[in-house]
Amino acid sequence: MDKKTVRDVDVTGKRVFVRADLNVPLDDGRITDDTRIRASLPTIVYLLERGASVVLASHLGRPKGKVNDALRLKPVADRLSQLLGRPVRMTGDALGPGVQVAVDKLRPGDLLMLENLRFHAEEEANGEEFSKSLAGLADVYVDDAFGSAHRAHASTEGITHFLPSVAGLLMEREVDALSRLLERPPKPFHAIIGGAKVTGKLEVLEALLSRCQAILVGGGMANTFLAAKGHALGKSLVETDQIDNAQRIMSEARRKRVRFMVPTDVVIAPQIHYRAQTQVVGIDAVPKEMMVVDIGPHTITAYTDHLAKAKTVFWNGPMGVFEVKQFAEGTNAIARFLADQTAKGGITVVGGGDSVAAVEQLGVADRMTHVSTGGGASLEFLEGKTLPGIAALDDCQAAA
């Protein structure tokens, strides 16, 4: 990448403000997926081993500028403590006299975690004074929060105006892996795009049409494309306001000679419930009282047969309602297949929270070329957009 990284600065004896993305899913205060915490470890350990004192900051959830006890970072600090094998002290706030006292006591090799940044409305508003106050806690800024790089917030963009600012090791890996997809990916380059809705995926689909040789669609968003082709889908989620866009995307794919694949058979159920009875039908045979919950076996075979021809694959979004076990086979089959393809030398990049959760649950995440911690950020990166959190970092040619 063309930005300075943590390797380019001397951190010994310095206080380093590390913006990580520790926004993990919680269930009644229990972390259900610690992927983002583990992904942040290399940068944290790198700094501590080199005698830096680390002020670690993140957001959690959407507290909308107000203190929300359910979104405190203590579970994250506890898990980080387990992974590091050392206590992780926390502050009661992200800023304030007590925070400054705690920071002033830090010694080389110490680690301190701030409370949820988004308890302050100024964080998302990118307030200048808030940014300056955060910067006052440290000598160097390290951005390792790729998942928040598409947001110009105080802790991702504003703070860079007041401190030397470099990328962390995770940020570097993310940018390098995704840049390979934008620049010269080995071809054929195929994309698998799933998830619930077409809304939010239009721009990345349009961008991929200029780079990919095939796009395979699954999940709830496939229903909208199927509806655009004239299929009746019972009670399934269909974005009727996106029908015209779906038709336009498919027309553009034909014009650019990009293979655009949609399901030919589907798994249906009367409701989304773990006890629901399922059956497999063709896309022309979905009863009015049923809904599509996954891609069917013929579609799985067609998709994997086509993916076998690819040298590079980008996957974002599950193939069905994978959170329910009997609706997860499409997603799981794709995950297992991509893991095998990667072992044979293929390049596989997985992006998006649900896709990442799926490969983690199956235990195949470490068999992929790269598993991105950024959902929206990875999509915007592939759309060719400038991500504020990356653009704000010091350029490699800049003076130290």
Q: Which residues are catalytic?
A: 36, 197, 353, 376
Mean residue pLDDT of the chain comes to 94
pLDDT for the residue numbered 355: 84
Q: Are residues 333 and 301 in the same domain?
A: yes
One domain for residues 371 and 262: yes
- 396 in a domain, yes or no? no
**What 8-state DSSP symbol labels residue 366?**
G
The b/e string for 217-228 (b: 16+ C-beta within 10 A; e otherwise) is bbbbbbbbbbbb
Q: State whether 124 and 195 are in the same domain.
A: no
- Between CA 306 and CA 315, with CA 309 as vertex, the angle to 5 degrees is 65
Question: pLDDT value at position 399?
Answer: 42
Contact 168, 144 (CB under 8 A): yes
**How many CA within 13 A on the CB side of residue 211?**
23
CATH number of domain containing 108: 3.40.50.1260
**Banded pLDDT at 357 (limits 50, 70, 90):** confident
Decide if 178 is inside a domain. no
Q: Are 79 and 86 in contact (CB under 8 A)?
A: no
pLDDT of residue 75: 97
Q: Are residues 166 and 242 in the same domain?
A: no
Residue that the structure tokens 């920071």 belong to: 103
Considering the domain architecture, whether residues 224 and 351 belong to the same structural domain is answered as: yes
Is residue 137 domain-shared with residue 194, that is, in the same domain? no
37: pLDDT strictly greater than 70: yes
3-state SS, residue 165: strand
Q: DSSP alpha helices (H): ranges in the chain?
A: 35-49, 74-84, 97-104, 121-124, 128-135, 169-182, 202-208, 220-228, 243-255, 297-307, 329-343, 353-362, 376-382, 388-391
pLDDT in tens, 71-121: 999 999 999 999 999 999 999 999 999 999 999 999 999 999 999 999 999
For residue range 244-288, what is the model confidence (pLDDT) as tens digits?
999 999 999 999 999 999 999 999 999 999 999 999 999 999 999
Task: Kindly state the DSSP code that residue 395 receives in the 8-state scheme.
Answer: B
pLDDT value, residue 374: 85
Residues 230 and 335 reside in one and the same domain? yes
Prediction pTM value? 0.91
Using 50, 70 and 90 to split pLDDT, how confident is the model at 126?
very high
Looking at the structure, tell me whether residues 161 and 224 fall in a common domain.
Answer: no
Nearest to 190 by CA among 372, 346, 391: 346
Number of residues that this document lists for the chain: 400
Tell me how far apart the alpha carbons of residues 75 and 121 are, in angstroms, rounded to a whole number.
Answer: 22
Q: Please count the structural domains in the chain.
A: 2
Over residues 33-44, mean pLDDT: 94
- Joined together, the tokens standing for residue 103 give 């920071």
Domain boundary among 141, 173, 205: 173
Residues 44 and 102 in one domain: yes
Nearest one of 130, 216, 215, 186 to 311, comparing CA atoms: 186
* pLDDT at position 235: 95
Answer whether residue 358 shows pLDDT above 90.
Answer: no
User: Shortest CA distance to 349 belongs to which of 156, 204, 251?
Assistant: 204
* Burial per residue of 263-295, b for 16 or more beta-carbon CB atoms within 10 angstroms, e otherwise: bbbbbbbeeeeeebeeeebebeebeeebbbbbb
* Co-location of 226 and 159 in the same domain: no
Angle between the 35-49 and 169-182 helix axes, to the nearest 10 degrees? 120
Predicted pLDDT at 89 = 96
Task: Extract the tokens encoding 75.
Answer: 């579970």
Rounded Cα distance, 211 and 190, in Å: 9
* pLDDT reported for residue 400: 43
Q: Flag whether 391 is in a domain.
A: no
Give yes or no: residues 238 and 296 share one domain. yes
Per-residue pLDDT tens digits for 325-355:
999 999 999 999 999 999 999 999 998 768 8
Range of the domain at 73: 6-173
Give the per-residue pLDDT at 353. 66
How far apart CA 159 and CA 165 sit, in angstroms, is 8
Residue 345 forms part of a structural domain: yes
Same domain for 200 and 156?
no
